[in-house]
Amino acid sequence: MDTPSQPAAPVSLPPLLPQTEHVMAQLFAAPALQAALAAVQRDDALTLADQIALSEIESPPFHEEVRAADFARRLRELGLADVRVDAEGNVIGVRPGTGGGPRLALAAHLDTVFPAGTDVKVRRDGDRCLGPGVSDNARGLAVLLQILRTLNEQGISTTGDLLFVGTVGEEGNGDLRGCKALFATDKTIDGFIAVDGVAVTRILANATGSRRYRVGYEGPGGHSYNAFGNPSATHALGRAIALISEIRVPDEPRTTFTVGTVKGGTSVNSIAASAELELDLRSNDGAELTRLEASILPLLEVAAEAENRRWNAPADKQVKLVLTPIGNRPAGQQAPEISVLQAARGAQAALGIALLTYSAASTDHNVPVSLGIPATTLGGGGAEGNNHTLREWYEPTEAWQGPQLTLLSSLALVGMVDVSEPLLTHRAPR
């Protein structure tokens, strides 16, 4: 998951809807639900063992297939008969409801940010587990397995269907390709919960959109002395960066930009023939993101023109812009009354978990939120640090709260047979 945008503080939300409170009261009074919550806590070590085992399977960007196969195997071993890997590489397992209810997807991403060949063996240091990707997002996958294990062990039937999904391409330039493919091909999903990160005190209500570009400049190059007077690709790049840095953006909705990487040239005594940067634009509002993009993209051509004009370069020796889109994550916002957000808040309250952060981020839930499908991202429980580095760590501190939170939220949404009606509604006629 990309780093969350700056949340508003303190959290100020309207009270839960009466329907939400009623459903939570029904669920929490059910002996089967209490037994399920107890089973999740009892199986805390088993959930961690699944997490470590999955973490130790390499899952580099665009090559998640080995971990996907293992996750699919585990879903089958836990009783799912309908498990498949789709054309994009997502693992999708269906636990059918009794019929007529809504369909809720529970998802965690399979990919990590680490390239093939990274040592992903998990080491233990007391209660701390150390290893690249040990938390992000092996924890989310393990939580999904524990929820499925608990439902089956406790014999809990739901009115609606539950989809257990391992998505590909959530990180970086994966550009949410797995989740985009999921919603492009399945029009029956009525709600979505991603398990990513660990904080159970956080609910992601909105989606931070982003547009990403690789900005290249190509020119004639040449020797720094003999060809002096030729326009330089790195000079054009510098002009572009200077122009971008002067852009002003609003504080609300939170909108940001950065030149994340810069490279180019061949040697200290060469006029650069090529140079490139990677540009990241973000906003919690889709319209504002489009405005930012419209402000910055023309400046990239202005930079090339200025470099060519500086040296009075003829047409055959001019620096030219090469612009390549490398990411498009949609933005979106949801009202607090949305069913998935109501269920998550109600589950937190029932479990005695404080809501400390109600914010936006860029992760798999961006896709359904942008489509108007109720969605959120919940934490998997425990503590984590140094994510996206080789020093990543995870500690199972009260870690059972993560699967408990998602389990209770899910049952509120799809309905627990003979206990409660679904909070989630169909988004389209079946």
- First-last CA distance in the chain: 32
- pLDDT confidence of residue 427: 85
> pLDDT tens digits, residue range 134-171?
999 999 999 999 999 999 999 999 999 999 999 999 99
Q: How does 311-332 read in b/e, with b if 16+ C-beta sit within 10 Å? A: bebeeebbbebeeeeebebbbb
For 336, counting Cβ atoms within 10 Å of its Cβ (0-12 exposed, 13-18 middle, 19+ buried), the class is: middle
Query: CATH code for 18-207+331-414?
Result: 3.40.630.10
CA–CA distance, 137 with 203 (Å, rounded to integer): 17
Identical fold between 18-207+331-414 and 209-329: no
Instruction: Look at domain 209-329 and name its CATH class.
Output: alpha beta
Buried b (16+ CB within 10 A) or exposed e, 65-87: eebbebbbebbeebebeebebee
User: Could you give the dihedral angle defined by the CA atoms of residues 194, 198, 200 and 204, in that order, rounded to the nearest 10 degrees?
Assistant: -40
> pTM of the full predicted structure?
0.92
Starting at the earlier edge strand, list the strands of the sheet with 393-395.
123-125, 128-130, 393-395, 383-385
Looking at residue 396, its amino acid is P
E strand map for 53-156: 82-85, 91-95, 103-109, 123-125, 128-130
**pLDDT at residue 429 above 80?**
no
The pLDDT of residue 11 is 75
CB 236 within 8 A of CB 300: no
pLDDT digits (tens, 9 = 90+) for 14-24: 999 999 999 99
pLDDT, residue 26, reads 98
Measured distance CA(55)–CA(384) in Å, rounded: 14
Nearest to 362 by CA among 327, 330, 326: 330
What is the reported pLDDT for 83? 98
Q: Report pLDDT digits (tens) over 118-138.
A: 999 999 999 999 999 999 999
Per residue in 323-352, pLDDT tens? 999 999 999 999 999 999 999 999 999 999
Domain ranges for the chain: 18-207+331-414, 209-329
- CA-nearest of 292, 136, 135, 276 to 209 is 292
Distances in Å between the Cα of 2 and the Cα atoms of 366, 383, 401 are 11, 17, 22
Residues with Cβ within 8 Å of 350's Cβ and at least 6 positions away in sequence, in order, are: 24, 27, 28, 408
**Nearest-10 Cα torsion for 356, 362, 363, 367:** 120
- Work out the angle between the directed axes of helices 138-153 and 31-42 (0-180°, nearest 10): 140
pLDDT of 183 strictly over 50: yes
Residue in the block written with tokens 């969350």? 4
Q: For residue 67, is it left (φ>0), alpha (ψ between -120 and 50) or beta?
A: alpha
Q: Are 235 and 274 in contact (CB under 8 A)?
A: no
pLDDT value of residue 428: 64
**Element holding 264 (H helix, E strand):** strand 255-264
Of the pLDDT bands very low, low, confident and very high (cuts 50, 70, 90), residue 28 is very high
